[in-house]
Amino acid sequence: MLTVVAVCVGLVGLLYSLYTWLIPAAVQYNSWLALLWHDVIVEKTLNALTSSTRPQRLLRAVQRKATKGDPQSVISAIDYFCRNSEWAMNVGDEKGPILDSVVCEVSPATALELGTYCGYSSVRIARLLPVGTKLITLEFHPDYACIARQVIQHAGLEDKIFLVEGASGDLIPKMADMFGISTFDFVFLDHWKDRYLPDLKLLEECQLLRKGSVLLADNVICPGTPDYLEYVRNSPRYESRYFQSHLEYTKVEDGLEKSVFLG
């Protein structure tokens, strides 16, 4: 009996070590293994065990650890959760400062985000916007939008962020009518990767970009947006620069592509 107990304890210890340290360390440098492990195996396992979703668990972490009305503490709470509890596809604490620097450089009067997820990048962008500027952020998934609204409210930025639910392809042509927007000074692309290029072309067709408009695209290497990169790097209408970094909370190569619309 003691031998059986010892074997069981040993197996539990081994499984715990594999789950919490060995496998996460092993997948740190491989893009597809990292995404498979974190975004499929771990997420689905925890969803089943906790009868909750990753966004719900992230929201609880924000509510427990972040100071209400303090955007920076919300960002820090999410980064801590993603590094120490459960990975999530936010822009993250390594690429985040790159996003910050571009927002501050542009100092946009009009700003659009494609893909809200849980509101991390919305909070990150909105806290830096000039007085009077509001961020319009589009989210297709209603459950994500529900969580994002609560995260944004906890950060005290609900007056600076308009979150609109729906498909970007349907909503982009309606921006002028819905918000009186003629053009966007800054656009952050962080939604479905196969929508980057179609939505960029839609922004062009709807004349929502002006000369000097800045687009910043996340995850251009992992999971990757090769058609988008080929377009902005080879079109005479754009001047592009790549910022090398890593996939959020890992050592996998990833980066941001900043593209200035030349008209």
What amino acid is encoded at 210 in this protein?
R
> Of all residues in the chain, what percent carry a pLDDT higher than 70?
89
State yes or no: pLDDT of 129 exceeds 70: yes
Q: Which architecture does CATH list for 92-261?
A: 3-Layer(aba) Sandwich (3.40)
State yes or no: pLDDT of 19 exceeds 60: no
Q: Residues 172-206: pLDDT tens digits?
A: 999 999 999 999 999 999 999 999 999 999 999 99
**pLDDT band with cut points at 50, 70 and 90 for residue 2:** low
State yes or no: pLDDT of 13 exceeds 90: no
State yes or no: pLDDT of 24 exceeds 90: no
Helix, strand and coil content of the chain, in percent to the nearest 5, comes to 55, 20, 25
Q: Is the dihedral of CA 50, 53, 56, 61 positive or negative?
A: positive
State yes or no: pLDDT of 18 exceeds 50: no
Name the DSSP class of 156. T
For 143, residues 6+ apart whose C-beta sits below 8 A from its C-beta are 53, 55
**pLDDT band with cut points at 50, 70 and 90 for residue 78:** very high
Q: Are 240 and 214 in contact (CB under 8 A)?
A: no
**Average pLDDT of the chain, as a whole number:** 91
**C-alpha distances in angstroms, 42 versus 45, 166, 234?**
5, 28, 39
Q: Active-site residue numbers?
A: 190, 193, 218-219, 248
**pLDDT band with cut points at 50, 70 and 90 for residue 214:** very high
State yes or no: pLDDT of 7 exceeds 50: no
Amino acid 35: pLDDT:
83
Annotated domain spans of the chain: 1-50, 92-261
Question: How far is it between the farthest Cα atoms of the chain?
Answer: 77
Average confidence (pLDDT) over 90-101? 97
**pLDDT band with cut points at 50, 70 and 90 for residue 22:** low
Average confidence (pLDDT) over 131-150? 96
Amino acid 31: pLDDT:
74
Q: Which of 39-48, 99-108, 182-191, 227-236 has the lowest mean pLDDT?
A: 39-48
Q: CB-based burial of residue 259 (10 Å sphere; 0-12 exposed, 13-18 middle, 19+ buried)?
A: buried
Q: How many CA atoms are closer than 13 Å to the CA of 80, on its beta-carbon side?
A: 13
Amino acid 15: pLDDT:
42
Amino acid 23: pLDDT:
56
